[in-house]
Amino acid sequence: MLSTTNYKKFKTSRLRPPIAAFQTPVIERLHMKLQRALIAFMMLLLSATAFAEEPVKQSVLSVVQDTLSQTWQSTDYELYFPVNAWHNRSYYSAEKIRGYNEDPWGLGIGKYRFDDDGDWHALYTMAFLDSHNDIEPIAGYGFQKMWRPTDDFHLGAGYTVGLTTRKDMHYLPIPVAAPLFTVEYKQIAVQSTCILGGNGNGNSLFTWLRWQLDGD
């Protein structure tokens, strides 16, 4: 038999949502792990780019700080207009494709600069409609090596690292590391990234227009 006091404790414990008791510590630990993974990945990619053509004279952290600081201090801005989110039909059923949104209406803004080698750097933020028509924000850093066949026509390839959140992932921060490809004419460019995945997830091509407001 339970005493009145013990019964109240038992009743209260039954009414308490089982997840609520540990939700905050779990989220905090996951958040810290994701942050550390993202920072480590950024440091690796940036250091590989920065040290490719010159002797190692700075620490990796200094290179990351300098690169981000110089980009943040730029007075040149660009706008982003998402136009398409294509899902690879080889990895999704026809039923899934019919239920997905592939028109990711949204808007973004970023600061950009070109370094001494003519390569593109940017800090950006963007929000768009994801595959389920829910708003997905993203913010991060992008780098591209640029090739200039002519004065006005340019090609670029590089990467982006950042953080995003999604409703179907309970808006937990999700680290992003993906390739970037660009076809550019004067100040207008088409940029794309591919999201890798497995059967029924990822394996998509996300494309947007980029308009440099203060570019040459």
The answer, as to whether pTM is greater than 0.75, is: no
Domains of the chain, first to last: 5-212 (2.40.160.20)
Strands (E), the chain: 76-87, 106-114, 120-129, 135-147, 153-164, 174-185, 188-195, 204-212
Predicted confidence at residue 57, as pLDDT, reads: 53
> Is the model's pLDDT at 36 over the cut of 90?
no
Confidence (pLDDT) at 41: 55
Q: Which residues does the annotation mark as catalytic?
A: 87, 130-131
Per-residue pLDDT of 116-146, as tens digits, reads: 999 999 999 999 999 999 999 999 999 999 9
Measured between alpha carbons, how far is 135 from 52 in angstroms, rounded to an integer?
38
Within 10 angstroms of residue 99's Cβ, the number of other Cβ atoms is 12
Tell me the residue type at 153: F
* 118: alpha, beta or left? (left if phi > 0; alpha if psi -120 to 50): left
pLDDT (tens digit per residue) in 72-94: 999 999 999 999 999 999 889 89
How confident is the model at residue 60, as a pLDDT? 85
